[in-house]
Amino acid sequence: MEFNTKVIHGGQQHDPSTGAVMPPIYQTSTYAQSSPGQHKGFEYSRTGNPTRQALEKSIASIEGGTYGLAFASGLSSIDAILKLLSPGDEVISTNDLYGGTFRLFNTIFKKFGIVFKFIGMEETDRIADHITDKTKLIWTETPTNPMMNVIDIRRCAEISRENDLLLVVDNTFATPYLQRPLELGADIVMHSATKYLGGHSDVVMGALALNDKDLAEKLYFIQNASGAVCGPMDSFLVLRGIKTLHLRMQRHCENGRAVAHFLRSHPKIENVYWPGFEDHPNHEIARNQMKDFGGMLSFKIKGNKYQDAIKVLETLKVFTLAESLGGVESLSGHPASMTHASIPKEEREKTGVSDSLIRLSVGVEDEKDLIEDLRRALDLI
Ligand SMILES: *Cc1c(COP(=O)(O)O)cnc(C)c1O
Is 356 a member of any domain?
yes
What CATH number does the domain containing 348 carry? 3.90.1150.10
- 71, 73, 75, 76, best to mutate for ligand 1 pocket (most atoms within 8 Å of CB): 75
Please answer whether residues 173 and 294 qualify as being in contact, where contact means their C-beta atoms are separated by less than 8 angstroms.
Answer: yes
Domain count for the chain: 1
- What's the pLDDT at 340? 83
The question of whether 46 is a catalytic residue gets the answer yes
Q: Considering the entire predicted model, what is its pTM?
A: 0.97
Please answer whether residues 241 and 198 qualify as being in contact, where contact means their C-beta atoms are separated by less than 8 angstroms.
Answer: yes
Nearest atom in ligand 1 to the alpha carbon of residue 326 is 15
- What's the pLDDT at 351? 85
Is 255 a member of any domain?
yes
- What's the pLDDT at 16? 86
- What's the pLDDT at 8? 98
Check if 101 has its Cβ closer than 6 Å to any atom of ligand 1: yes
For residue 101, what are the CA distances in angstroms to 81, 98, 106, 109? 12, 5, 8, 11
Type and span of the H or E element at 360? strand 357-361
Is 126 a member of any domain?
no
Nearest atom in ligand 1 to the alpha carbon of residue 193 is 7
Type and span of the H or E element at 241? helix 232-242
- Name the DSSP letter for residue 35: B
Q: Residue 272 is part of which domain span? A: 246-379
Nearest atom in ligand 1 to the alpha carbon of residue 76 is 9
- Name the DSSP letter for residue 229: P
- What's the pLDDT at 123? 83
17 Cβ contact list (under 8 Å, min separation 6) = none
Is 260 a member of any domain?
yes
Low-confidence ranges of the chain (pLDDT < 50): none
Q: How far apart are CA 177 and CA 250, in angstroms?
A: 9
| Cis bond upstream, residue 146 (ω within 30) | yes
The question of whether 292 is a catalytic residue gets the answer no
Check if 120 has its Cβ closer than 6 Å to any atom of ligand 1: no
The question of whether 273 is a catalytic residue gets the answer no
238 Cα: distance to centroid of ligand 1 (angstroms): 15
- What's the pLDDT at 125? 87
Is 37 a member of any domain?
no
Is 26 a member of any domain?
no
The question of whether 98 is a catalytic residue gets the answer yes
192 Cα: distance to centroid of ligand 1 (angstroms): 4
Check if 100 has its Cβ closer than 6 Å to any atom of ligand 1: yes
Please answer whether residues 65 and 210 qualify as being in contact, where contact means their C-beta atoms are separated by less than 8 angstroms.
Answer: yes
For residue 76, what are the CA distances in angstroms to 83, 152, 299, 321? 10, 26, 31, 26
Is 320 a member of any domain?
yes
- What's the pLDDT at 316? 98
Is 375 a member of any domain?
yes
